[in-house]
Each structure stands twice: as C-alpha cells, then as structure tokens.
Amino acid sequence: MSTANVQTKWGQFIPLVTVFFFWGFVAASNDILIPVFKKAFSLSQGESQLVSVAFYVAYTVGSLIYMGISYLTKGDIINRIGYKNALALGLFISALGTLLFYPAANTGSFPLMLSGLFIVGLGFSLQQTVANPLAIALGPITTGSQRLTLAGGINNFGTTIGPLIVSFAIFGSAASANTDVSIESVKIPYLILGAAFIVVAILLKFSSLPDKVEAVVEIEDVTKPSKKSALHYPQLILGMIGIFVYVGVEVSTASNLPAYMETDLGFATKDIAPYISLYWASLMIGRWTGAVEAFSVTASLQKKLKFIAPYLAFGVFLAVNAIAQHDLTPFYVYALVIIVLIAADIASKGNPARMLLIFSTLGIVALLIGMSTTGMLSVYAFTSVGLFCSTLWPCIFTLAISGLGKNTNQGSNFLIMMIMGGGIVSWLQGAVSDATNIHFSYIVGVVCFAYLAFYAWRVSGILRSQGIDFDQKVSGGH
C-alpha cells in the first residue's frame, strides 16, 4: 500500500459521504412508511415488514448480480467502468426506484411500492460496494476505519432527519391536527429524493474522486498461507451470521417500534417520528464517538472529545426536532443513558471482541427492560438499542475478516451480502408479533444479541489459535 496518503483528502471525502447520508435517510424513513402502509393497505404486522424485506434483500440480490457479472466478464466490473461511474450508476438506479412511487401512489399499489424500494436498495448495494473502499483510500490506511466510522456518523445524520422530513411530508407539522393516512402524500418527497440522487450522481461524476483505488488487503503471513476460499475460515462463517443478526436486530427494533407505541401506548402515527429519529440518532451518537480518532489531534484532546462528541450528536437530534416543532421535554432524560455508552466504550479498551461482548450484553439488558416495563421507560429502553448497535458493525467486520490474507476482499463481499438480515429478522419479529403480541416480539432481538455475545466469545479463541491477539493488535472496521 502506498504511503503517499498522509492526510485525509477532505475535498474528496466530503462529497463522497453524501451517498452515506442517502442510505441512512431512506433506511430510517422506511420506519415511517411501515405504519402508514399498514393502515392504508390493511396489513398485518408481519405483512407490513415486507417494506424492510424488499429494501434489505435488495442488497443481497445486488451483490449477487455484481458477482455474477464480474464472473461472466472475467473481471471486476467496478474496476472496468471506474469508481465514479459506478457510484453515478448506483445513484441513477436508485432514482429509477423512486419514480415508481408515483404510479404506485396513484394506483394504491402496495406491490409497486415494494418494487420501488427494492430498486432503490439495488442502487444502494452498488454504491456500498464502491463507497466503502473509497472512504478507506482517501487518506492514510491507519485511519481508514475511523473514516468509515465518520461516514457512518453522516449516515446516521440521515437516519435522524429522514423520519422527521417524511413524517412532515405525510402528516404536516407537529402542531397540525392532521391524522389522515394518505398514500398519495408519499410520492412527492420520494420524487424529490430521486431528483437529489440524479443531481449528486452528476456532481460526483465530475468531482475529483479517483476512478481507481489501491486494493486494501491484509498482509499475508507466508508461514501460514491462505486457504483456497474465504469460506474455509470459521471466523468468517460465524461472522456472516453475526452480520445477518446484527443488521436484523438494528432494523427490526426500530421498524416494529411504531406498532408497539400505537398498540400498547396509544400513540398516533404522526407523533411517533421523533422517537424513530431518537433511535437512529442513538447510532449517530455512538458513531460520532468512534469517529473522533479520524482527526489528527492530541491524545489529551481526543479523550475529551470522546465525552463531547456523543453529546454534540445528541444536540443535533434535539436541534432538528426543535426545528420540526416537536416537544423536547420527553428526551432530556436520555442524556443519562448516553453515560452508559461512554462507560462501555472506555471499558472495551479498543478490543473489538470485548466491545462486541459488552455492547451485545447491554443490548440484551435494554430489550429485557423494554419487554418487562411499560410507558416511556420501555420506549427509552427500546431506543437505547441504537446506542448499543452503533459499534457492532466495525467489531463484527474486523473479527470476521482477520487472518483471511488474500481472501480478505472475498470475505468482505460475503459479509455485505448478509445485510439482508435487516429485512428477514424484521419480518420474523412481525410474524412473532402476529402470533403473540408486539411487546413480546422483541424476544427476537434478544436472541440476535445472544448470538453476537456468543460470537464475541467464540471468535476470540478461534483467532488466538491463528496467532491473532487483539489486545496486542487493535484493528478497526466500518
């Protein structure tokens, strides 16, 4: 790897992270569409979760299409057309998906709505494949994972404001008495979003972003040659399940929250948006904390920023909700919950396996508290799951690809394919809710976190047997 990149290329990095913003904006906005579609189309809770299924399974289908085309053409398709062209193509595909919202809204077609979301997800799959290595390449490799974490923080800014904007487009301002659910009100914000995709695609096409990036793969130990396939490594196989259940619990906790707040707590659909925003802002809070290391500052200042960053992110959440004219009084107490995040981050000492174990355990505790209580305490418990999910992607990703040598890129692609867990687990929780009740359905998330805690324990032994000790070598991820 070239050592020429001694500083982050902010002039290229900043326009790149606009696509990270879009991913978050759409993903979190789905949580507003779910209760709207449920009422408008008279769906069961399980059927309403098809919104998540359509969107997240598209990532896996897109990844398979990418692999298939690359195999048939005997070469990496992205390397052939260039990174900027691939990004622009992904944005145009997503824009085509948003266009389907117009006829879908006019005809009241749920399948056409799902088709639009699926195509948006297909475009996002290509963008993910391009943007992640680009973010790593735009600066020194030693801070590549922190740049991905920073990009994730921008992603979660999108998840924070997405539900608020889509809710406003459908229901009007928070002060409005409008409670009508109108499918036709969905088409305008998504057509505007599609136009934004096209504008950004054109801007990125003519930006200074590189068309090629230097491959980033783990240096292979010649005394321990790589196996023929990444699938021969147990840390990857178990890690693929880990990514599946992690994305699953992250998405399903939020996507089923509106149904819980409506059914058990009596909330109106139009009043749920700030709580969905808080959930996704919780991921932003955790990722802004982790992104501190992407900046070249002194160790002393870095320690202070570890405390400042999460509350700065919380301040962003409060600010955007104030602009949306939501009552902020219910949210101030959440500042106390953030202390738990900071303490857990310090206790992990940068070891991804230890962090995965601690945060998965906290996720189980949060869900059990939510399931065993009612009222606002249960809502705060469920939303705090976002805090404890915020660091899990880099932990799982790092542990799963460690020691893969020349198979690292192949292993990474397999992990990206497992993002479909966001849709499958959401549907599963919806089905459990239909069979029992929405409050009990969060047991699905408990099982997901329990597996992640097991993986944290098991993978440590696997990697130690391969000579990899994260107490001596601390590595990062997305």
Q: What is the mean pLDDT of each run of 10 residues along the chain (478 residues)?
A: 53 83 87 86 90 91 86 79 88 95 90 95 87 73 64 83 84 56 80 92 84 54 62 92 96 94 90 92 87 70 87 94 91 95 85 91 97 95 95 84 76 84 94 95 98 95 84 44
Give the list of residues 6+ apart from residue 339 with CB closer than 8 angstroms, or none.
Answer: none
Measured distance CA(55)–CA(124) in Å, rounded = 10
Contact (Cβ atoms closer than 8 angstroms) between residue 260 and residue 275: no
Comparing CA positions, the residue from 48, 49, 4, 287 lying closest to residue 159 is 287
Domain 10-465 listed as CATH 1.20.1250.20: yes
Measured distance CA(410)–CA(387) in Å, rounded = 30
Give me the residue spans of the domains in the chain. 10-465
Measured distance CA(85)–CA(40) in Å, rounded = 39
Give the list of residues 6+ apart from residue 423 with CB closer than 8 angstroms, or none.
Answer: 49, 52, 53, 54, 55, 56, 57, 251
Contact (Cβ atoms closer than 8 angstroms) between residue 279 and residue 383: yes
User: What pLDDT is stored for residue 431 in this prediction?
Assistant: 94
Contact (Cβ atoms closer than 8 angstroms) between residue 217 and residue 136: no
Angle of helix 10-40 relative to helix 234-255, nearest 10 degrees? 60
φ, ψ of residue 427 to 5 degrees: the values are -65, -40
Angle of helix 110-137 relative to helix 10-40, nearest 10 degrees? 160
> The whole model's pTM is what?
0.82
How far, CA to CA in Å, does 224 sit from each of 219, 403, 468, 473?
11, 9, 12, 18
Token code pair at residue 116: 């639009």
Measured distance CA(52)–CA(420) in Å, rounded = 9
Amino acid in position 377:
L
User: What pLDDT is stored for residue 120 in this prediction?
Assistant: 95
Token code pair at residue 102: 């117009």
Residue reference for tokens 């707590």: 265
Contact (Cβ atoms closer than 8 angstroms) between residue 35 and residue 179: no
Contact (Cβ atoms closer than 8 angstroms) between residue 290 and residue 284: no
Measured distance CA(419)–CA(243) in Å, rounded = 7
Measured distance CA(21)–CA(6) in Å, rounded = 26
Go through 308-335 and write b for each residue having 16 or more CB atoms within 10 A of its CB, e for each that does not: ebbbebbebbbebbeebebeeeebeebe
Contact (Cβ atoms closer than 8 angstroms) between residue 311 and residue 335: yes
Measured distance CA(359)–CA(130) in Å, rounded = 29
Q: The dihedral of CA 321, 322, 325, 327: what is its sign? A: positive
Measured distance CA(457)–CA(442) in Å, rounded = 23
Give the list of residues 6+ apart from residue 466 with CB closer than 8 angstroms, or none.
Answer: 224, 403
Cβ neighbours of 337 (radius 10 Å): 17
Token code pair at residue 90: 């992904």
Q: Any alpha helices (H) in 172-256, and if so which ranges?
A: 187-205, 234-255
